[in-house]
Amino acid sequence: MKPRHFEEWLLNDTPLNEEQRRELQNHLRTCAACAALQESASALRAAPSVAPAAGFTRRFQIRLAAQRSAARRKNFWGLALFIVAGLSLTFWLAAPYLLLFAAAPAQWLSLLIGDALFLFTTLQTLAEVFSIFSKILRGVLSPAAWMTLLAALTGFSLLWAASLWQIRRAPQGVSL
């Protein structure tokens, strides 16, 4: 058996049958880590339990409410700072265009059309480059290599999505 299984037996206080108890005792003779764990667990079980001081629950609830309030305040000011910084940056980047539009709308319109044409031709060029690369790679890579590449990209996408999900999950707090 794996030592992990013995650790679960020692820490969870699961009732063991005679064969499991014998197996655990044999393992404890050979594994110093599990023997130390059993000794620590026995010492903790033997320690007398002490009732919390009077008013502990109320003090805990007050402290928890204060921490939540401080976290909300911190989040509010962080969001406010983020919004102000974002609006400032947006205004700073848009100011030359706004001044140009106010001074000469025709010039602004020609600039806008030029930028749109640049974007369109750039996207068209990138599509052609991608098309050429895919034709080259289609001749170089076998179908098995394509399947492997696609599987790897799918795996990375799933890993990325799982990471985002893990980050986005709300932390497990103390419920009252």
What's the N-to-C CA distance of the chain in angstroms?
Answer: 40
Structure tokens at 148: 């492997």
Number of domains comprising the chain: 2
Q: How many CB atoms lie within 10 A of CB 22?
A: 11
Residue 176 is predicted with a pLDDT of 44
In the predicted model, residues of the chain with pLDDT beneath 50 are 1, 175-176
Contact 12, 40 (CB under 8 A): no
Residue 97 belongs to a domain: yes
Do residues 38 and 83 both lie within one domain?
no
Q: Are 129 and 122 in contact (CB under 8 A)?
A: no
Give residue 175's pLDDT.
47
* Whether residue 101 is found in the same domain as residue 41: no
Quick one: pLDDT at residue 140? 85
Q: 153 lies in a domain?
A: yes
State how far the Cα of 153 lies from the Cα of 150, in Å rounded to an integer. 5
Do residues 22 and 96 share a domain? no
* pLDDT value, residue 171: 63
60-111 pLDDT, tens digit per residue, is 999 999 999 999 999 999 999 999 999 999 999 998 878 877 777 777 788 8
Specify if 151 maps to a domain. yes
Q: What is the pTM of this model?
A: 0.35
Q: Establish if 123 belongs to a structural domain.
A: yes
For residue 67, being part of any structural domain is answered with: no
pLDDT of residue 130: 92
Is 134 inside a domain boundary?
yes
Q: Which domain holds residue 12?
A: 3-45
pLDDT of residue 1: 44
Check whether residue 84 and residue 156 sit in a common domain: yes
